[in-house]
Amino acid sequence: MRLNKYIASAGICSRRRADALTEDGNVKVNGLVVREMGRDVKEGDVVEVSGRVIRPETERVCIVLNKPKGYITSVRDAQKRPTVMDLVGDIPERVFPVGRLDCDTSGLLILTNDGALSQMLTHPKHRIRKTYRARVGGVLSDGRIARLKKGVDIGGFVTSPAELRVLRQAERTTLVEISIFEGKNHQVRRMFAAVGNKVVELERVAVGEILLGRLRTGHYRKMTRPELAYLGELSRG
């Protein structure tokens, strides 16, 4: 980014004034006075104006992606498998995924460039509801449903109460909607495994009040104003 744009985007002054300040020797980059107005600033450069370090205000971006199966929830993958970043490549801001969906899980994934928002949504103390549609093998007996609702041992950890309802009972599988308030690794798959039902398909349909709706697989959308207001309220507690 051009130095004058960087200074202006920190809310210090206009670009023109930034050029004047630069020419007059009031601007330092990485501790050295810079008088060259066309200078570019790279990520990691420290810019000072009249002795004060400045930071440009970046616009907050919050995205809802419908993640397809087969994509890794990671910014990059050492094995060069497709990642969710491949699906949001045209977003100029440096967004990153909030939490994680398994490679085999599809559905709602939030991406943002706001670290504080990401922490708020993933920290267990906030108990954000995450809702999934799971197709599991076999029949889910009342006893198993009761155990899942109450909390099950998934290997060294007992899950806290979950909400669950059966949507459809087919011949060999059961379609269930389950809401959990934690985010342990593979939690939903491990919960069903703990009662003896294997998850054969898993889709996340909501995070808090953010809904997947009819967003097409592999597509993303920016969050709406009401969604951003809702997240703002959550952040304020």
DSSP for 164-210, please give it: EEEEEE-SSEEEEEEEES---TTHHHHHHHHHT--EEEEEEEEETTE
Q: Which of 105, 159, 174, 197 binds ligand URA (CB under 6 A)?
A: 105
Q: Which of 21, 64, 101, 162 binds ligand URA (CB under 6 A)?
A: 101
- SS3 for 119? helix
Residue 189 touching ligand URA (CB under 6 A): yes
Among residues 210, 208, 230, 231, the alpha carbon closest in space to that of 220 is found at: 210
Residue 188 touching ligand URA (CB under 6 A): yes
Q: Is 102 a catalytic residue?
A: yes
d(CA 28, CA 222): 36
Of 19, 45, 77, 102, the catalytic one is 102
**188 vs 231 by CB, closer to ligand URA:** 188
**22 vs 187 by CB, closer to ligand URA:** 187
Query: Min. distance of Cβ 100 from ligand URA in angstroms?
Result: 7
Query: Min. distance of Cβ 109 from ligand URA in angstroms?
Result: 9
Pick the piece of the chain touching ligand URA (CB under 6 A) from 8-16, 22-30, 58-66, 185-193: 185-193
d(CA 177, CA 164): 6
Residue 131 touching ligand URA (CB under 6 A): no
**55 vs 198 by CB, closer to ligand URA:** 198
Contact 13, 22 (CB under 8 A): no
Residue type, 95: V
d(CA 171, CA 186): 26
Instruction: Using CB under 6 A, list all residues that contact ligand URA.
Output: 101-102, 105, 186-189, 202
Q: Which residues does the annotation mark as catalytic?
A: 102
